[in-house]
């Protein structure tokens, strides 16, 4: 940025600081009347809202934060009486006033906000050279390079002492840095100094590290210092120049046209100045009427609209713009506060695009604007007839990344150039547990996180590589020009690191995210479709692991998944051909060993492999959504069997297992109802065993279903009790008649003699008036001990294994 631009920014900031004084006076006056005039509070809130937004944009982070706290306090204070309200606002307002005071005093001493656009869209103006700072302790290298760069319109300022980095940046105000890694014996000095400069200033200048060496450590240090690129000496000059040009967006094109509509003048001025400095052609409007009037003259390629404007709000303005045919396809981008979800939905519907949450820092503004206009124009110029709608279809509207279809095309294009020295890989990146972010903080916050991660990733990827967004939290990366697979592996690790290092702050504090990655290397005969399939297989495996992982596709993986596929097919066939049968494990009274009932357990009569246990098929059935069919068949068999046995032994119960999936889609409910009535069964003799995982899945749906089961009169048993995370809370939440203590606890007692857990569980169940069933009883001592504890019933190999129905009849009633 030139001196005059910088000067302008400083002027803007000091003008802003002066206005802060006015805000302070106004707030003080309003505070005087806040205990007898509700409108005062409203007014205070709107000032806080403004300061939150503009403070952050001007780089006054603390001010913005305090303003936000005050705004929130006003929001919650609405419900209070006037006197209480004063008490609850007192702290936040005084904190804000104090900071306002401080910031106004500081107005003469401070530099402009850190708003140097890192990707200045320099318009081709040859009268202006482009300042670069070159720091290297080898003067010959520096002189030569600066000579060469001057031929490309760059003026390189040379500095040989890395400890003078900060000063040199202040002196020359460069748009990019080229920094040597090692300085006379001090390894990594370049990275270290850049890193500490970044921490103190945070200006997003691109940094090119250069070094005579190449190693993982060096590259890692460069990445950690926020290096944009890493180049080896001797430098490949055309490459350096092309990277510089691309970083700095030096293109002989006409500037992009952007319109900003906002009623907050402070913000508008700052954004205008900032984007203008970055090379945009900016039109500003302070009201809807203004905007509509200016639209015809300025033909913007993107319109940013503030949602909150008095008179005609942003959404209404958007609708009016859409009514004009010639403006109907201009992309709109709304700026709004995070809290208004309804508002945001309305924006999303209207704009077919998204909104950015205020307050908007300058870097985010630039990123959002840049990605949209640049891609939009790029597409229009490549395909003359392309409409904005087409452009939006090819690009993801949230992140402005290209979508899957472009990736397929790009892979096809890249494949012919692969050689053993030019390794091409496709990586699929999936943010771990992203759904919990959406669940905890809402989709809008989730969207912001995705934008942020996009930013971090695009900053780190190699030139020539492209990032794509597939859907949700899934990104795809096409990476090329690696000399070996190890280089891809290091590269992928650095990208994951970028995700982990992104400091994402939510209202609950800082979050650390990580990602699963599936990678596939192309081979001689690869096709685009196949590479994507294989990347899918790899990430599928990565996601299954309990911790985040990078998985590389190989043939074994393919085989394993093929097995899975075959198994699924065989299961499908088995379900269609009644190969799944119920076996029954008797359950006895602890005190007199009398038969009390059965648990029906599934077996697969496999045509080739014989009788298989549930471990062989239930996990896959659950994964593939087939379990509800098993439940259906088990109910059919077990209830019919129960009806037969009830003719002579009506007191026996029949217990069946449900899976979490059954709760999601309770297809079995109707079936259960009709079976009960068909066989005239006493519903209280039917027990359904549920586990905690089933409740965790979707508590609302689960409690609804459990109520319906209660209405039917069937009983519930809590299965595998004690093995989950929140057994206690789940005990309280549902009304179950039986509690089944998992066999691991019985086993554990046998091994260690430690009875505390068992005892506690039995007592707990008793307190809740439940009947306690112990599972997996294998030894007489276990049974005697359970008797002592007062356990009601048991099942286990000691008394009987699961058996076929005929076997039960022979052993029990012959
Ligand atoms: P579960 O519900 O805990 O069932 C008890 C398991 O413990 C059965 O294993 C049973 O054979 C075994 N078992 C019983 N007594 C003893 C003993 O003394 N020692 C030992 N070591 N094991 C004993 P199984 O039949 O292999 O079933 C395993 C799991 O598969 C079941 O655990 C249940 O979670 C699931 N399952 C079985 N059938 C069905 C079904 O029809 N539907 C659903 N959703 N899940 C089922
Ligand atoms: Ca069970
Ligand atoms: Ca169990």
Residue 589 scores a pLDDT above 60: yes
**What's the 601 CA to ligand 2 centre distance in angstroms?**
8
Distance, CA of 195 to CA of 209 (rounded, Å): 12
pLDDT confidence of residue 121: 31
Distance, CA of 377 to CA of 249 (rounded, Å): 14
Task: Give the ligand whose atoms come closest to the C-alpha of residue 627.
Answer: 1
* Closest C-alpha residue for ligand 1 atom 33: 657
Residue 145 scores a pLDDT above 50: yes
* Beta carbons of 681 and 701 less than 8 angstroms apart: no
Specify the long-range contacts of residues 729-734, CB closer than 8 Å, at least 24 apart: 730/692, 730/695, 731/764, 731/768, 732/768, 733/695, 733/699, 733/703, 734/690, 734/695, 734/703, 734/706
Counting from 1 in the atom list of ligand 1, the atom nearest the Cα of 777 is 18
Minimum mean pLDDT range among 4-8, 59-63, 217-221, 257-261: 4-8
Residue 578 scores a pLDDT above 90: yes
Mean pLDDT in residue range 201-209: 81
Mean pLDDT in residue range 273-288: 87
The SS3 assignment for 341 reads: helix
- Give whichever of 59-68, 352-361, 434-443 has the largest mean pLDDT: 59-68
- Give whichever of 262-271, 280-289, 632-641, 732-741 has the largest mean pLDDT: 632-641
- Give whichever of 351-365, 382-396, 697-711 has the largest mean pLDDT: 697-711
The SS3 assignment for 637 reads: helix
Among 551, 363, 525, which Cα is nearest to 458's?
363
Among 110, 125, 152, 155, which Cα is nearest to 9's?
110
Mean pLDDT in residue range 634-655: 97
pLDDT confidence of residue 393: 59
Sign, CA torsion 631/632/637/639: positive
Distance, CA of 443 to CA of 352 (rounded, Å): 16
- Give whichever of 18-27, 556-565, 575-584, 733-742 has the largest mean pLDDT: 575-584
Among 284, 343, 283, 281, which Cα is nearest to 318's?
343
- Give whichever of 41-45, 319-323, 735-739 has the largest mean pLDDT: 735-739
- Give whichever of 232-241, 416-425, 538-547, 582-591 has the largest mean pLDDT: 582-591
Q: What average pLDDT is seen over the chain?
A: 85
Residue 610 scores a pLDDT above 60: yes
**What's the 657 CA to ligand 2 centre distance in angstroms?**
5
Is the CB of 635 within 6 Å of ligand 1? no
Q: Going by C-beta distance under 8 Å and a sequence separation of 6 or more, which residues neighbour residue 163?
A: 193
Residue 568 scores a pLDDT above 80: yes
Substitution candidate for ligand 1 out of 662, 775, 797, 801 with most atoms within 8 A of CB: 775
Residue 737 scores a pLDDT above 50: yes
Is the CB of 795 within 6 Å of ligand 1? yes
Q: Domains plus CATH for the chain? A: 3-109 (1.20.120), 126-248 (3.40.50.2300), 257-393 (3.40.50.2300), 396-553 (3.30.70.270), 568-811 (3.20.20.450)
Confidence band (pLDDT; 50, 70, 90) for 108? low
**What's the 604 CA to ligand 1 centre distance in angstroms?**
13
Counting from 1 in the atom list of ligand 1, the atom nearest the Cα of 582 is 41
Is the CB of 626 within 6 Å of ligand 1? no
Residue 185 scores a pLDDT above 80: no
Residue 354 scores a pLDDT above 60: no
Confidence band (pLDDT; 50, 70, 90) for 345? low
User: What is the per-residue pLDDT across 231-268, written as a single tens digit (0 to 9) for each?
Assistant: 888 888 877 887 787 777 665 456 788 999 998 888 89
**What's the 655 CA to ligand 3 centre distance in angstroms?**
11
The SS3 assignment for 208 reads: strand
Distance, CA of 178 to CA of 209 (rounded, Å): 6
Is the CB of 722 within 6 Å of ligand 1? no
Q: Going by C-beta distance under 8 Å and a sequence separation of 6 or more, which residues neighbour residue 524?
A: none
Percent pLDDT > 90 in the chain is: 41
Confidence band (pLDDT; 50, 70, 90) for 157? very high
Mean pLDDT in residue range 404-433: 90
The greatest distance separating any two alpha carbons of the chain, rounded to the nearest whole angstrom, comes to 106
More confidently predicted of 235 and 352: 235
Among 107, 97, 105, which Cα is nearest to 15's?
107
Minimum mean pLDDT range among 141-150, 698-707, 799-808: 698-707
> Going by DSSP bridges, is the β-strand pair 715-721/686-690 parallel, antiparallel, or unpaired?
parallel
Is the CB of 778 within 6 Å of ligand 1? yes
* Beta carbons of 327 and 300 less than 8 angstroms apart: no
Counting from 1 in the atom list of ligand 1, the atom nearest the Cα of 798 is 18
| 510: Cα within 13 Å, side-chain hemisphere | 5
More confidently predicted of 36 and 618: 618
Is the CB of 614 within 6 Å of ligand 1? yes
pLDDT confidence of residue 738: 95
More confidently predicted of 763 and 382: 763
Residue 278 scores a pLDDT above 80: no
Q: Going by C-beta distance under 8 Å and a sequence separation of 6 or more, which residues neighbour residue 417?
A: 424, 480
Counting from 1 in the atom list of ligand 1, the atom nearest the Cα of 691 is 34
Q: Is the pTM of this model over 0.85?
A: no
């Amino acid at each position: 940025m030139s001196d005059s631009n910088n000067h302008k920014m400083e002027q803007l900031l000091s003008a802003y600081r002066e206005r802060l004084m006015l805000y302070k006076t106004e707030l003080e006056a309003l505070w005087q009347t806040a205990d007898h005039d509700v409108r005062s509070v409203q007014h205070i809130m709107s000032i806080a809202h403004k300061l939150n937004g503009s403070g952050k944009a001007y780089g006054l982070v603390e001010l913005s934060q305090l303003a936000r706290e005050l705004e929130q306090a006003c929001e919650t204070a609405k419900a209070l009486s006037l006197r209480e309200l004063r008490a609850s606002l007192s702290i936040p307002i005084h904190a804000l006033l104090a900071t306002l005071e401080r910031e106004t005093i500081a107005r003469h001493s401070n530099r402009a906000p850190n708003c140097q656009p890192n990707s200045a869209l320099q318009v081709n103006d040859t009268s202006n050279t482009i300042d670069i700072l070159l720091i290297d302790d080898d003067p010959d290298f520096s002189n030569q390079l600066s000579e060469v760069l001057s031929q490309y319109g760059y003026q390189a300022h040379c500095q040989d002492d890395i400890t003078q980095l900060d000063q040199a940046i202040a002196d020359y105000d460069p748009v990019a840095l080229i920094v040597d890694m090692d300085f006379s014996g001090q390894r990594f000095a370049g990275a270290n100094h850049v890193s500490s400069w970044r921490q103190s200033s945070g200006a997003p200048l691109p940094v090119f590290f250069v070094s005579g060496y190449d190693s993982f450590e060096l590259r890692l240090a460069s990445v950690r210092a926020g290096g944009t690129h890493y180049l080896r000496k001797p430098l490949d000059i055309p490459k350096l120049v092309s990277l510089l040009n691309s970083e700095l967006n030096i293109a002989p094109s006409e500037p992009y046209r952007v319109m900003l509509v906002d009623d907050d003048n402070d913000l508008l001025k700052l954004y205008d100045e900032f984007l203008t400095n970055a090379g945009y052609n900016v039109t500003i409007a302070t009201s809807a009427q203004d905007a509509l009037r200016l639209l015809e003259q300025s033909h913007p390629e993107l319109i940013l609209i503030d949602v909150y404007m008095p008179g005609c709000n942003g959404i209404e303005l958007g609708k009016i713009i859409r009514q004009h045919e010639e403006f109907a396809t201009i992309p709109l981008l709304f700026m709004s506060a995070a809290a208004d979800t309804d508002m945001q939905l309305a924006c999303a519907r209207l704009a077919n695009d998204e909104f950015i949450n205020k307050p908007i820092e300058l870097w985010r503004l630039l990123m959002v604007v840049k990605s949209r206009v640049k891609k939009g124009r790029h597409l229009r110029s490549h395909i003359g007839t392309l409409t904005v709608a087409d452009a939006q279809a090819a690009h993801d509207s949230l992140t402005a990344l290209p979508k899957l279809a472009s990736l397929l095309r790009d892979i096809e294009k890249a494949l012919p150039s692969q050689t053993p020295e030019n390794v091409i890989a496709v990586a699929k990146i999936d943010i771990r547990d992203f759904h919990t972010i959406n669940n905890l903080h809402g989709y809008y916050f989730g969207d912001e996180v995705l934008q942020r991660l996009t930013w971090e990733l695009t900053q780190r990827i190699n030139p020539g590589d492209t990032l794509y967004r597939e859907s949700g939290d899934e990104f795809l990366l096409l990476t090329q020009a690696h000399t070996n697979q190890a280089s891809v592996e290091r590269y992928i690790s650095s990208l994951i690191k970028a995700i982990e290092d992104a400091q994402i702050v939510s209202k609950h504090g800082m979050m650390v995210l990580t990602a699963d990655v599936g990678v596939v290397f192309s081979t001689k005969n690869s096709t685009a479709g196949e590479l994507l399939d294989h990347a899918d297989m790899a990430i599928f495996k990565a996601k299954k692991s309990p911790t985040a992982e990078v998985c590389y596709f190989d043939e074994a993986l393919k085989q394993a998944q093929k097995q899975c596929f075959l198994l699924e097919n065989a299961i499908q066939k088995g379900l269609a051909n009644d190969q799944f049968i119920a076996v029954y494990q008797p359950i006895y009274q602890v005190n007199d060993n009398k038969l009390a009932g059965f648990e029906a357990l599934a077996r697969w009569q496999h045509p080739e492999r014989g009788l298989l246990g549930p471990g062989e098929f239930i996990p896959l059935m659950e994964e593939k959504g087939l379990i509800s069919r098993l439940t259906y068949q088990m109910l059919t068999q077990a209830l019919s069997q129960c009806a037969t046995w009830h003719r002579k032994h009506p007191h026996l119960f029949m217990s069946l297992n449900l899976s979490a999936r059954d709760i999601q889609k309770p297809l079995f409910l109707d079936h259960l109802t009709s079976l009960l009535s068909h066989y005239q069964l006493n519903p209280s003799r039917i027990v359904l065993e549920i586990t905690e995982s089933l409740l965790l899945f979707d508590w609302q749906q689960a409690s609804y279903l459990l109520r319906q089961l209660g209405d039917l009169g069937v009983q519930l048993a809590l299965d595998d009790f004690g093995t989950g995370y929140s057994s206690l809370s789940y005990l309280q939440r549902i009304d179950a008649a039986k509690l089944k203590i998992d066999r691991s606890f019985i086993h554990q007692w046998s091994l260690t003699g430690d009875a505390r857990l068992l005892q506690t569980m039995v007592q707990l169940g008793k307190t809740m008036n439940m009947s306690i069933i112990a599972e997996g009883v294998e030894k007489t001592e276990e049974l005697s001990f359970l008797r002592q504890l007062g356990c009601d019933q048991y099942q286990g190999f000691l008394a009987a294994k699961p058996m076929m129905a005929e076997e039960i009849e022979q052993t029990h009633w012959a």
